[in-house]
Structures are given as structure tokens and as C-alpha cells.
Chain A
Amino acid sequence: MFGGGCATRLERRAGPGLGSVDRGAQFLKLHLYSGEAYVLSSWKVDGAGAVISGPGEHWGPDRLHGERAAVYRVSLRDVAMFETNTHTRSPSDGRMVAATGVSLAISVTVLLLIVSIGGGFGNDR
């Protein structure tokens, strides 16, 4: 019921080499020296280590319109920085879950009390 209210945090890792990013991230962002950016949903580096390729979206420096393509091939020489973002759950979720549990327990207890009291009156008659 409250699942949509959970908070997500974004952990960003960025650096000039592929070694500085989180390889398990859902997307890999390539920042080019030109100001353009590619966001790849999966990627592979060719054997010679000169080109990175994969499906994704290309953004101009204005970041206004993205163009999707099944495969982009980007020369690693053009990439100034690699970036990944990882979604993590907020630690506050635990407190909210605990509050919900206690609140529900009280609601159920009160409901049971009302039912039992109501049942007691019914038996008296």
C-alpha cells in the first residue's frame, strides 16, 4: 500500500576511466569532450579497447532531446568521463515500516476490542 512512498537515493560514481564506475549499474553515461553525452543501457568494449558500444540514448549539450539507437559506437578517445548512478533504499524506510507495523497492530487491536465488546453486548441480550 505504501510501497510507492519509499524513498530512493542516487549514488553517483564518475571518473576518467571505466575502472572508476560501478559496473553493476543499470546505465553507463559517457561524457564526451564535445559536451554531448551517451547513456548506454548495456555496453561492451571491443577487443582493442578503442570503442565502447551498446544500445542507448544520445544527448546534445543542451540536453533537450534524446535520440535512441539500437547500437551506438563511441570512440574511447572522445570520452572525457564515465559515470554510473546506483539506486539505493533510504535508511528512513525502516523507520516508516516500523511505524506502519505498530500503527496497524494498534488498529487491529482496537478493531478486535470493538468486535469483542459488541459481541458481549449481543450475548447479554
Chain B
Amino acid sequence: MTARALTAAALPFVAACLFNPDPRSASLDDFEQRALGGWIAVTQSDGSVLDGELISIEPETVHVLAWSASAPAQSPFARHPHELVEVPRSRIRHARLFRYPRQSYALWGTLGGLSTITHLVLLVITLPAWIAVTVSANRNEANAVLLDYPEHRLEEISIWARFPQGMPPGLPTSAVFPREPPGATVRVSPGPHP
């Protein structure tokens, strides 16, 4: 019973570790004090998904600093900024912005779940109650950081871009990259497939 209880109490923590697509290990303070853009996942009209840092939203296009997987020799989970992609607005079917790293009640919930060991037989009620409350609170926090397009206008989303004022005119593409990658280029996303 104890092992089962421990496993169950750890579930909120495990759940909180999932579903965070942003590979940057940026803190809330980084978003407040460093002017990084939020993480955006853009579903294009052909169904392909482009994700990366939101750089700017222009009247006709959206700039995303796309991240790609590292070379196979490196960690399969490591990603790095790869190219600056200019996506025409007309090509965006859906976009989801993760404004900043979501906060989690995982530690609180896990400790609370473990504390139900002291409830003896009442644990059969209080442990599921802890899990339910923690999962619900975590879901609320996960939703609180999201801004979806077209539910929200792109202009509303733009204040979470690295350049909320728009792409600085004349700024070299390489200047956007946290470190200058070889052959950094701007790619314009192709038009919709016929």
C-alpha cells in the first residue's frame, strides 16, 4: 500500500514535468528582465508545425526563431536556434504562444500526497483528493500561460515577442541568434500547397 501511495503521490510531479515544449531553461525572471520572446508553436495551412521563439509580429508576417534538433551525435533531446523563419499571416491556421514558463504545484502536491500516509485508512479518500486538487491547479497554471490564435488576435500576442515593436529595420539576421550559427539565413515559409 505504501509503495502504491508513494507512486500515486508522485504522479502530480511527473505530470508537471510533461508538456513543456520550450527547450530554453529560462526562468520567469528571464522573461521579465531579459526581454526574451515567448515560445510559439505555429500550425501552418499545410499542417506542418513550426516552433521556436517569437521574434516579432508584422502586419503581414510573423518572425519565429525556429529551433531544431541537434546532430545525432549529440544528445537527441538537445535543440538549438536554427533559422529565422518568416511566416506569412495568411499561412497560419493556428498558433499557440507559451508566454512564460508555467509555474507548478508539483512539489506542494507531492509533499501533500505523501503527508496522507499519516491519515491511515482515510488515505483512500485524502490521497485521491490531493491528486485531484494538484492536477487541477497545475492545469489552471498551464492554461494561464497560453495565448491561442485565432482566439486571440496576433496584435494581442505581439507584446510577448522579443521585439514587440516589430523587427528592427536593417538588423542583420545573425544579430537575432543567441550565438551566431554558421550560415544563418531568413527563410520565408512557402505559400499554401495546392
Contact = CB atoms under 8 A, between A and B. Distances in A.
Interface of A: 1-2, 4-10, 12, 14, 26-27, 29, 31-35, 37, 39, 57, 59-64, 66, 80-81, 83, 85, 87, 90-92, 95-96, 99-100, 103-104, 106-107, 110-111
Q: Select the residue from B32, B112, B134 with max chain A CB neighbours within 10 A.
A: B32
- Interface SS majority for chain A: mixed
B175 A95 contact: no
Contacts of B116: 103
A107 B122 CA distance: 10
Interface string B19-51: 000000000100111111000000000000000
B29 to A, nearest CB: 10
A100 to B, nearest CB: 6
Contacts of A95: 133, 136-137
Contacts of A87: 28
Lowest 6 CB-CB distances: which A-B pairs, in order? Answer: A5-B108, A80-B165, A7-B103, A35-B168, A92-B137, A37-B35
Interface of B: 28, 31-36, 99-100, 103-109, 111-112, 115-116, 118-120, 122, 126, 129-130, 133-134, 136-137, 140-141, 144, 159-160, 162-166, 168-169, 171, 175-179
B34 A10 contact: no
Contact of A96 (B105, B118, B129): B105
5 contacts: A5-B106, A7-B137, A8-B103, A10-B28, A63-B36
A76 B44 CA distance: 38
Given A10-B31, A106-B126, A31 B164 contact: yes
A77 B18 CA distance: 44
A7 B141 contact: yes
Contacts of B160: 12
- Interface SS majority for chain B: helix
B119 A110 contact: yes
A60 B122 CA distance: 57
Given A59-B34, A63-B178, A66-B34, 14 more contacts: A4-B107, A7-B104, A9-B103, A10-B28, A14-B164, A31-B164, A32-B168, A35-B171, A59-B35, A83-B164, A90-B137, A90-B141, A110-B118, A110-B119
Contacts of B165: 31, 33, 80-81
Contacts of A1: 111
A61 B32 contact: no
Nearest to A14: B159
B11 to A, nearest CB: 15
Given A5-B107, A107-B118, A107-B119, A10 B32 contact: yes
A12 B137 CA distance: 22
A39 B34 contact: yes
A106 B107 contact: no
Contacts of B166: 80
